[in-house]
A and B are shown apart, each in its own frame.
Chain A
Amino acid sequence: MISILFVLTLLASAPENVTEFDLDNGIHVISRTVTGGEVEGLSFFLVGGSRVLDEANQGIEAFALEAAMAGSDTYPDERWREIMDVTLASWNASYNYDYSRYHLKCLSEDLPLLLDGFADCLLEPELDPQVVERVQNSQLVALQSELNDPDNRIWLVANRGFMGAGHPYLLRPDGIPSTLSSFEVEDVREWLSGRIKSGNILITHAGPTPPEQLAELLEVSFGRIPEGGDVIPEVPEFGIDRDTIITENDETLSAYCVVKFKAPPSGDSDLPAYNTACLVVDELLWQVLRTDNALTYAVSGGSTSNYQRNWGYMYISTAEPALSATLMAEVFGTVASGNADQSLVTGVANNYRTIKGINAQSMDTQCWMLGSGFLSAGDWRAPYLLQESLEEMTVYEISRALSDWALDAGWGIIADSTVVDFNEFEPWSLKGE
């Protein structure tokens, strides 16, 4: 029996027409009904991420899901490709530290067929060796390309000092070349049979299909997934206990610099103020580093809010990394010491209001917001309600949150040592010392 719980939206910022229900096997579903269009979005979340990986199998889940989605026993490769041709459905996968997300975008009329195929691929994947090899090679090419670009690599360089040896978030959800190239068909099959269990899964939906109809469709497709699930370990705190810097030499015209610092975990009451503080840092970085000093084209600050363990960051690409890092630490200090203007805080709230409106136009983003809110804070409303807390935020609150949490700084710099003097680099303190 499917029991549907209709949620009454009492707070103005949370969207209306959101329904939560469980399939018979226990899979939780959150659906936002959006009428007026024909586009459906449906996200399949597989909870675990880096926490269920180890050194030798990092990347296996990303690889397994991509390989599985190439066809199933009922929908073999060519039949499945034909369905893709006829429906023009698209799939968008992302793999992060806490979960994998596989997202389907299609027209309403195709949803029944695609959901059936989607679940079938997960439960009875065809795993034709030739197709699996092609998926593997495609992923390797994408990974190599990403790692070749210092703009992507800099984040990993910063992680090495910040996260501390042995932290699960050092394991790459999309793998590393050596692990990715070692996986075989049997590894995929074994991984899927262990992980595709109802207790590991959350489904979110946004689109015109009403919840009663969606529930029926999901029961006959994803309702076939066996019960059970993994015990997913808690994420330990990041290991950083002093300011650190990791450098990497690369013949690049622009240097890249990232610093990471601790943030409140999901569900912590300091998180909204901390997130706001980092967005104010972002505004000031643009003003100081780009507008006033012309040191960069790309500079930003921010924080994560949807992981079990979160972090704040500042990023820049520049020809002058040492000077830039000094100014970044000063900007951080301005906000942490309570010297930022209240209008910056108000501006963050205003921007967020607009972004929320932009997000409402995308079924994909709606699915992501519903799912990430539920998985990180236990309530899908969390990202929507953030606006209300932002509107009342003060400079004092954000400075307190930032200075309480962001203590030690993990810096990473990629630069050309023939152009930039690496002796100028030091782990710039964010503690205002």
Chain B
Amino acid sequence: MLYTLILMLSMNFPVVESELPNGLDVIIGEDHSSPIVTVCIVVNTGGTCESPESNGLAHFYEHMFFKGNVALPDQTAYNSRMRELGMIRNGTTGREVVRYYLTVSSDLFDEGLEFMYDAITGPLFDPEEIVNERSVIMNEYERKTNHPFWNLWRMQEEVLSIEKWRSSSIGVPEVIMAADQEIMLMFQEKYYTPDNSALIITGDVDAETIMPAVTELFSQWEYGGRSDYFSLGLNISIEKDTIVNVGGPEGMGMIRIVFVGPSMANQQNWTYAADVWGQYMGRMTGEFHNDLVANGPFLDVYASYYSQRFEPSITFGGTIDPELIDQGLEMMHEEILNMFREGYFTESGIEMASEQLRRERLFREESSRDMATETFPFWWVEGGGLEYYNNYPDSLAAVTAGDISLYLDRWVKDKPTAVFIITPEGEWVE
């Protein structure tokens, strides 16, 4: 059965959503401001679907995506086709989402769509290409180890994750170097199915005109029904107060205080208050900023909720002179306690935070390509469809000071924390 739902008429461009009989969500946004079209496939998978034996292979799969396929087996011909189409393309693998996207001139939409269809449905996973790609990914891994926050990322996986391999998308060298065709096919069979994916198209197209071609082509993608994505468990736990001192770059001190947050999988009702709260705390004229930055030792601070299904977190953090870490940590704790004071959250401040979130949305909508490659994929996965994103403004507008207090009582008050101190002399260095 095919149904169509009009979405988000308040946006800069109209968006329609449909579902094909094989379960594929199709989201089309019409933006005629520029003669290009972007096609994105988003899949409910990522590092969180891995085991110790497959740690890093969701990301490996992404590397194999823009390789030869059944329609274009030869890699040289494949690259040549991309040049013919003037295609700008990329793919990313996160903990909870994988996306692939390409942009072409709108007069080449049919060709771009077909290219994406062949890539998602007919990868070859040529064994020789897989062996080559192991070295490519190892270089990517080695580059990451130079990142100033590599030690912090690694330590966060150790401290916060129930199963640490589900937190690391890049994976571990021994698994990367053992990747083979068999495990790629296993990932494909389990997760790369239409009922576990969405096709997002934005740009200079007319939804009604292109829908028949989209339906005809992508209806051939075989229904799977084998994904376990939505049955995976939470992968964050902080049982007791923990503090770790991690090695970081010269001259920089950082503090991160982390709490477990509400999951986008089954605790969405908490998330609206969480987002308004984060925005409230981020105001440059708010108490949090005034006390810690304007009149305190921090160079910058933030307090935020990260909308995730499996590793949702609430973080208070900031950058500070490494010499002032102890003072900063004490002050940050005081500010957290301060939030529970009567009258800390004012209605005018909450109104401003909600208005900021509305404006943020307008800024994000400036580029329909960014919508196709970032905003829609993120919310489609985390919200379990676009309904969450669609209803988001109304839900935010309904948040009150009382809701924020309830949220803080439930998720922050007297809850165990994981504290990460990052200093040049940090004790923990991988």
Q: Enumerate chain B residues within 8 angstroms of A417, measured Cβ to Cβ.
A: none
Stretch touching chain A among B21-29, B33-41, B159-167, B209-217: B33-41
Chain A min CB distance to B360 (Å): 6
Partner of A291, one of B79, B145, B286, B359: B79
Is A433 among interface residues, defined by CB-CB distance under 8 A?
A: no
Is B132 among interface residues, defined by CB-CB distance under 8 A?
A: yes
Stretch touching chain B among A42-50, A115-123, A145-153, A155-163: A145-153
CA distance A273 to B369 in the complex (A): 29
Q: Enumerate chain B residues within 8 angstroms of A134, measured Cβ to Cβ.
A: 293, 299
Instruction: Decide: A297 near B33, CB < 8 A? Known: A85-B352, A144-B250, A351-B88.
Output: no
Structural contact, B142 and A319, CB atoms closer than 8 A: yes
Instruction: Decide: A347 near B88, CB < 8 A? Known: A290-B136, A297-B140, A358-B36.
Output: no
Chain A residue at smallest Cβ distance from B252: A141
Structural contact, B84 and A85, CB atoms closer than 8 A: no
Q: Enumerate chain B residues within 8 angstroms of A296, measured Cβ to Cβ.
A: 136, 139
Q: Enumerate chain B residues within 8 angstroms of A319, measured Cβ to Cβ.
A: 138-139, 142
Is A34 among interface residues, defined by CB-CB distance under 8 A?
A: yes
Is B198 among interface residues, defined by CB-CB distance under 8 A?
A: no
Is B341 among interface residues, defined by CB-CB distance under 8 A?
A: no
CA distance A290 to B132 in the complex (A): 9
Structural contact, A357 and B34, CB atoms closer than 8 A: yes
Chain A residue at smallest Cβ distance from B86: A350
CA distance A291 to B83 in the complex (A): 15
Structural contact, B34 and A361, CB atoms closer than 8 A: yes
Q: Enumerate chain A residues within 8 angstroms of B55, measured Cβ to Cβ.
A: none
CA distance A278 to B79 in the complex (A): 18
Instruction: Decide: A297 near B83, CB < 8 A? Known: A144-B252, A354-B103.
Output: no
Chain A residue at smallest Cβ distance from B147: A149
Interface of chain A, helix or strand or loop or mixed?
helix
Most A CB contacts (10 A, CB to CB) among B80, B146, B284 go to: B146
Structural contact, A253 and B142, CB atoms closer than 8 A: yes
Chain B min CB distance to A394 (Å): 16
Chain B min CB distance to A222 (Å): 24
CA distance A138 to B293 in the complex (A): 11
Chain A residue at smallest Cβ distance from B38: A358
Chain B residue at smallest Cβ distance from A363: B366
Partner of A318, one of B80, B139, B367, B370: B139
CA distance A346 to B286 in the complex (A): 54
Q: Enumerate chain B residues within 8 angstroms of A357, measured Cβ to Cβ.
A: 34-36, 103, 105
Interface size class of B (residues with CB under 8 A): 35 or more
Q: Enumerate chain B residues within 8 angstroms of A86, measured Cβ to Cβ.
A: 352, 355
Structural contact, A85 and B148, CB atoms closer than 8 A: no
Most B CB contacts (10 A, CB to CB) among A88, A151, A177, A252 go to: A88
Structural contact, B36 and A150, CB atoms closer than 8 A: no
- From 281 to 330 in chain B, residues with beta carbon under 8 angstroms from any chain A beta carbon are 283-286, 289, 293-294, 299-300, 319, 321
CA distance A318 to B140 in the complex (A): 9
Is B343 among interface residues, defined by CB-CB distance under 8 A?
A: no
Structural contact, B146 and A78, CB atoms closer than 8 A: no
Q: Enumerate chain A residues within 8 angstroms of B283, measured Cβ to Cβ.
A: 85
Q: Enumerate chain A residues within 8 angstroms of B131, measured Cβ to Cβ.
A: 294
Q: Enumerate chain A residues within 8 angstroms of B85, measured Cβ to Cβ.
A: 350
Structural contact, A287 and B79, CB atoms closer than 8 A: yes
CA distance A149 to B36 in the complex (A): 36
Is A406 among interface residues, defined by CB-CB distance under 8 A?
A: no
Chain B residue at smallest Cβ distance from A317: B143
CA distance A85 to B359 in the complex (A): 11
Partner of A36, one of B12, B36, B86, B133: B12
Structural contact, A85 and B33, CB atoms closer than 8 A: no
A360-378 CB mask vs B (1 if < 8 Å, else 0) is 1111000000000000000
B67-109 CB mask vs A (1 if < 8 Å, else 0) is 0000000011001101111111000000000000001110000
Instruction: Decide: A283 near B83, CB < 8 A? Known: A351-B88, A358-B103.
Output: yes
Structural contact, A355 and B88, CB atoms closer than 8 A: yes
Structural contact, B319 and A141, CB atoms closer than 8 A: yes
CA distance A235 to B135 in the complex (A): 42
Chain A residue at smallest Cβ distance from B356: A88
Is B137 among interface residues, defined by CB-CB distance under 8 A?
A: yes
Instruction: Decide: A298 near B143, CB < 8 A? Known: A78-B285, A145-B148, A357-B105.
Output: yes
Most A CB contacts (10 A, CB to CB) among B139, B249, B369 go to: B139
Partner of B321, one of A88, A137, A347: A137
Partner of A151, one of B138, B146, B363: B146
Closest 5 CB pairs of A and B: A347-B83, A350-B86, A357-B36, A253-B142, A144-B251
Q: What are 28 A-B pairs at a CB distance below 8 A?
A: A37-B365, A38-B12, A39-B363, A39-B366, A81-B294, A90-B363, A138-B300, A141-B251, A141-B252, A141-B299, A144-B251, A150-B146, A253-B145, A254-B139, A283-B83, A287-B76, A297-B136, A298-B139, A343-B80, A346-B83, A347-B83, A351-B86, A354-B88, A354-B103, A354-B105, A360-B34, A361-B36, A362-B367
Residues on A facing B (Cβ under 8 Å): 34, 36-39, 77-78, 81-82, 84-88, 90, 105, 107, 134, 137-138, 140-141, 144-145, 148-151, 177, 252-254, 283, 287, 290-291, 294-298, 317-319, 343-344, 346-347, 349-355, 357-358, 360-363
Besides A38-B362, A145-B249, A357-B35, 19 other A-B contacts (C-beta < 8 A) = A85-B283, A88-B363, A107-B362, A134-B293, A137-B299, A138-B299, A144-B251, A252-B146, A294-B131, A295-B139, A317-B143, A319-B142, A343-B84, A344-B83, A346-B84, A351-B88, A357-B36, A358-B36, A360-B34
